[in-house]
Amino acid sequence: MTKAERKRFVAGALRKLCREGRMNESRAFCQHGNTSVYWHSIRVAYYSLCLAEFLHLTRHKEELIYGALLHDYFLYDWHEKDKSHRLHGFHHPRTALKNASEDFTLGELEKNIILRHMFPLIPVPPTRMESWIVCLVDKGCSIYEIIRL
Ligand SMILES: [Fe+2]
Ligand SMILES: [Fe+2]
């Protein structure tokens, strides 16, 4: 895939999530520094696709993109002081999965990507290669978003 094709692929999935779900709401929530959850998720999806192509693991690229775009679909600002936001790092994959399941029909792979992306903080490892990809790319993107402040 060329860079333009990759961008178009991610954008197509993103449009669907905005149209049929609450993805647009994530624009308002800060993830790291001045990166919103929305842009963090797009970045993770794009680079997950790059890594999957590099590893020749593109058989499930649709699920990879949807899982990556929805991995932080928790839909609140975790920086706000609120009892329900405590231990965000541990709880948000479950919240993201719950929200995503309310809005979309998810397959096993997308669920695994969302639920396992916080390994090793949550010590249950991914069981699919695509989940490992998103888990690793999420770490890389998060570090980038924090240090470029
Ligand atoms: Fe996350
Ligand atoms: Fe993330």
Please write the tens of the pLDDT for every residue from 57-75.
Answer: 999 999 999 999 999 999 9
Ligand nearest to the CA of 136: 2
Domain boundaries, the chain: 3-147
What is the CB neighbour count within 10 angstroms for residue 10?
21
Ligand nearest to the CA of 117: 1
Instruction: Answer with the residue of higher pLDDT: 85 or 17.
Output: 17
First to last CA, the chain: 31
C-alpha distances (whole Å) from 111 to each of 45, 56, 68, 139, 144 are 15, 22, 10, 19, 25
Token pair of 101, please? Answer: 């399941």
Could you tell me the pLDDT band of residue 85, with boundaries at 50, 70 and 90?
A: confident
Residue ranges with CB less than 5 Å from ion ligand 1: 72
Contact 107, 124 (CB under 8 A): no
55 CA to centre of ligand 2 in angstroms: 21
> What does the buried/exposed string (b/e) look like for 68-103 if buried means 16 or more CB atoms within 10 Å of the residue's CB?
bbbbbbbbbebeeeeeebeeeeebbbebbbebbeee
The reported pTM is 0.96
pLDDT at 47 over 80: yes
Side chain identity at residue 123, one-letter code: P
At the topology level, CATH places domain 3-147 in Hypothetical protein af1432 (1.10.3210)
* Mean pLDDT computed over 17-38: 95
12 CA to centre of ligand 2 in angstroms: 20
Token pair of 95, please? Answer: 């919240």
Please write the tens of the pLDDT for every residue from 101-116.
Answer: 999 999 999 999 999 9
In the block, residue with structure tokens 């989940």? 131
pLDDT at 149 over 80: no
